[in-house]
Amino acid sequence: MLSHDIVIVGGGLAGLRAAVGLCEKYDVAILSKVHPIRSHSIAAQGGINASLANHPEGKDDSWEKHTFDTIKGSDYLADQHAVEIMCRQAPIIVYEMEHWGCPFSRFEDGSIAQRPFGGAGYPRTCYSADITGHVLLNTLYERAVSKGVKVYSEWYAIALVIDNGQCHGIIAFDLINGKIFPIKSKVTVFATGGYGRVYQYSTNALINTGSGIGIAYKAGVPIKDMEFVQFHPTGLIGTNILITEACRGEGGYLINNKNERFMEKYAPKAMELAPRDIVSRSIQTEIEEGRGFDHPLGKYIKLDLRHLGAQKIMEKLPGIRKICIDFIGIDPIYELIPIMPCQHYSMGGIDTNEKTETEIKGFYAAGECACVSVHGANRLGGNSLLDTIVFGKLSAIAIDEYLSGNNVNPEERPLNAKLNDVETNIKKIANNTGERPFSILSDLSKNMSANVGIFRKKDELALALEKIMEIKERYKNVHVSSTSLHMNYELLNAIELGYMIEVAHTIAIGAYLREESRGAHFRRDFSIRNDENWLKHTIARLGADGTPEISFKEVVITRYQPMERKY
């Protein structure tokens, strides 16, 4: 049995920032599915929001205005006290990252460059060309290494150990050496990212299975607002690789098959820089009404960057140009980019407060796997990187307070009991004679994209739930071809698939029950927002019968009363 003061599951921005804040005082370890600089945080392209007021058109910006834009963008489902904390922290975080060596792009006066992003009243998105996540992640990883943080790469958390309301650690799968270990810890932090691979079309990496959310849920931790799934307007046709919002922030146009900038119909003021939920629905509407383009890989519309000119594209969007050349054989300096909306981000997740605490002692969550809630029903572009680093930092502060004020003694007994459960389950999978995991996952992801997508309605959601229950039955007999633990990705996929099915179930049931349209959750049969009945968070717990038990929690309103959302 391994033991550390603090175990952080996830090597992305939230996990690294928490580790950097704790490692000088405590024995801290990070478990990461991949090497930390391959974490999905690296895929974030466009920027990180902060009210620095460096842009000539943003001199009047402030943390209060950032807060209002975020709450309005959330369709008033965000907890406003948490948004205020995040937006106050934003300039502090950006300057901290700058002082730690992050190479932000600069204006001519040497100040950190900022660009416009969707749903923002001012250009407040700080960036490094179109590789902002890359430079932030490398900066934090270098700092973690310099401070001696222990990193277990290619180790997977496969169970959370909770007993009598206290977290005692995790069960981990060391894939390289083919061993399963209990890891005892005074504090466990989940920073495990989103669940994009529950959907067929997603900008997310293959590692984004949502297993962290599923592990917490199966251990009895409540999860919140799972029905709110963000679809990014611009995923590259065929590959679903993210084409950053920075393309539109720098002045790119969306064009239909009539050569129209159609966003004028849907958001006449903001145009292409309306919030992502609005732009995604607008694109999907154009496609459904016959104004899209046809491709063997699907229907799409086009993103036009040509008018920006070669110099601007190569200076500010070099990564996007390379992606287009490498993956679809077009150069956006001369040609239009074929794009379609894809699942992108998880607004919902593990229910935490503004300190990243859950209701379980010693268990914390931060980043995309957590729901504070600062994004509510729809996240603004540029706020995800901010969320990860701010709440990674606040997690470290809260954990220090907890450990300094409590005598915490994790026990080996519940860890050993959970290890026995895990080993029994693995033997069952190995002895099953049913389907392979890839077949079940394929049907699950197709079901979610078809029936719990950008537009939703009762009969489709009911069908989604029916299919998920069928998939749960099929999963009971999931089978793998080898019983070896060493580098057995099929076994790992089978274990994670069980958690993915649970995540999908909570998304679908939350969407079925929420009879309104709010942010990224759009019901064709309930097409308006209903604050009287639905200005509340959805809480899902694992019921005794293995299905989600749903309850609701009030949204925290401070200074910003809900109003109609126009752009």
Instruction: Write out pLDDT tens, residues 492-524.
Output: 999 999 999 999 999 999 999 999 999 999 999
With bands split at pLDDT 50, 70 and 90, how would you rate the model's confidence at 376? very high
Per-residue pLDDT, averaged over 261-287, amounts to: 96
The Cα–Cα gap between 370 and 158 comes to: 18
Map residue 396 onto helix, strand or coil.
helix
The Cα–Cα gap between 451 and 459 comes to: 9
Which has the minimum average pLDDT: 69-78, 134-143, 288-297?
Answer: 288-297
Which residues are designated catalytic?
Answer: 276
Query: Which has the closest alpha carbon to 40: 242, 208, 227, 271?
Result: 208
* Residues in Cβ contact with 263 at an 8 Å cutoff, skipping those fewer than 6 apart: 254, 270, 271, 272, 274, 279, 282
CB count, 10 Å around CB of 561?
8
Whether the predicted pLDDT of 305 surpasses 90: yes
With bands split at pLDDT 50, 70 and 90, how would you rate the model's confidence at 175? very high
Q: Which conformational region is residue 121 in: left (phi greater than 0), alpha (psi within -120 to 50 degrees), or beta?
A: alpha
The Cα–Cα gap between 223 and 505 comes to: 12
Per-residue pLDDT, averaged over 116-137, amounts to: 96
Q: 326, exposed or middle or buried, with CB in 10 Å at 0-12, 13-18, 19+? A: exposed
Per-residue pLDDT, averaged over 139-153, amounts to: 96
Whether the predicted pLDDT of 207 surpasses 90: yes
What confidence score (pLDDT) does residue 297 get?
84
- Evaluate whether 46 touches 245 at the Cβ level (below 8 Å): yes
Q: Which CATH code is given to the segment(s) 233-341? A: 3.90.700.10
Give me the phi and psi of 550, to 5 degrees please. -105, 135
The Cα–Cα gap between 93 and 81 comes to: 18
Per-residue pLDDT, averaged over 86-95, amounts to: 98
Q: Do domains 233-341 and 413-539 have the same CATH topology?
A: no
Whether the predicted pLDDT of 295 surpasses 90: no
Per-residue pLDDT, averaged over 234-251, amounts to: 95
Instruction: Write out pLDDT tens, residues 469-487.
Output: 999 999 999 999 988 999 9
Query: Which has the closest alpha carbon to 390: 49, 35, 46?
Result: 49
Whether the predicted pLDDT of 256 surpasses 90: yes
Strand pairing partners for 551?
539
- Evaluate whether 119 touches 277 at the Cβ level (below 8 Å): no
Whether the predicted pLDDT of 430 surpasses 90: no
Tell me the DSSP string of 475-491. Answer: HTT---S----TT-HHH
Tell me the DSSP string of 276-337. Answer: HHHHHHHHHHHHHTT-SB--TT--BEEEE-GGG-HHHHHHH-HHHHHHHHHHHS--TTTSPE
Instruction: Write out pLDDT tens, residues 16-62.
Output: 999 999 999 999 999 999 999 999 999 999 999 999 999 999 999 99
Three-state SS annotation for 193-262: CCCHHHCCCECCCCCCCCHHHHHHHHCCCCEECCCCEEEEEEEECCCCCECCCHHHHCCCEEECCCCCCC
What confidence score (pLDDT) does residue 142 get?
97
Per-residue pLDDT, averaged over 366-385, amounts to: 97
State in words which class domain 413-539 has.
mainly alpha
What confidence score (pLDDT) does residue 348 get?
98
Q: Where are the alpha helices (DSSP H) in 380-522?
A: 383-405, 412-431, 437-451, 458-475, 489-513
What confidence score (pLDDT) does residue 97 get?
98
CB count, 10 Å around CB of 533?
9
- Going from N- to C-terminal start, the domains of the chain cover 2-228+347-411, 233-341, 413-539
The Cα–Cα gap between 22 and 185 comes to: 14
With bands split at pLDDT 50, 70 and 90, how would you rate the model's confidence at 270? very high
Average of per-residue pLDDT values in the chain: 96
CA triple 268-273-279, angle to 5 deg: 80
Map residue 173 onto helix, strand or coil.
strand
Give the predicted TM-score (pTM) of the model: 0.96
Instruction: Write out pLDDT tens, residues 394-409.
Output: 999 999 999 998 899 9
* Residues in Cβ contact with 545 at an 8 Å cutoff, skipping those fewer than 6 apart: none
What confidence score (pLDDT) does residue 449 get?
96
Report CA Rg, the chain: 22
Per-residue pLDDT, averaged over 167-191, amounts to: 97
Instruction: Write out pLDDT tens, residues 312-348.
Output: 999 999 999 999 999 999 999 999 999 999 999 999 9
Q: To which residue do tokens 């919902």 refer?
A: 348
Whether the predicted pLDDT of 113 surpasses 90: yes
Per-residue pLDDT, averaged over 138-161, amounts to: 96
What confidence score (pLDDT) does residue 483 get?
82
Residue 292 is encoded by which pair of tokens? 């899209």
- Evaluate whether 193 touches 157 at the Cβ level (below 8 Å): no
State in words which class domain 2-228+347-411 has.
alpha beta
